[in-house]
Amino acid sequence: MLTALPTYLASTKYQDSFLKHPTSTAFNQALGTKDGLFDYLSKHPDQERDFGHCMEAVSGSVPSWIEIYPTESSLVKSDGQRDDVVVVDVGGSISHDLNAFQRKHRLQPGRLVLQDLAEVLEGARVESGITKMPHDFFTDQTVEGKFHPYIVIYSQQVRSAWDD
């Protein structure tokens, strides 16, 4: 894909055209597809697995937000009572962040929820107590209404991959 980047950038006059043409990217040009990244990966399981391993390596190379943010403050409501759900990791892939959160706090089952597409969750190796929940983040969030506003909806990689 990197070899297609110079030609692609020159063709767009070095402007970001992703929002106007999300299926006309260097990725699409290099692989000769009109599919977006995640649709393409879902059709190519070996590459999807490799992508997951790559994301795991990337997240292992920088400090986790769990090491920096005082996550203890997310565990208790303002009235001092414990919540049911604490973190919903939307598009959480194979659970790097929730696994770190669970290793730090050892919460009871049901308090941490990993959401991603069902086929992605099949490969997720989660710590005991983490709930896997198939979910397409382009649909309504099913957990939010039950426990809002005391939960954290976390979407680090989703935020960087989509404009809204």
Hey, which residues does 116 pair with through a beta bridge?
Answer: 134
- Interval 102-114 mean pLDDT: 85
Residue with tokens 């976390």: 154
Size of the chain in residues: 164
| pTM across the whole model | 0.64
pLDDT digits (tens, 9 = 90+) for 130-149: 999 998 877 887 775 444 44
Among the listed residues 138, 75, 148, 85, the one whose alpha carbon sits nearest the alpha carbon of residue 111 = 85
Residue 12: per-residue pLDDT: 87
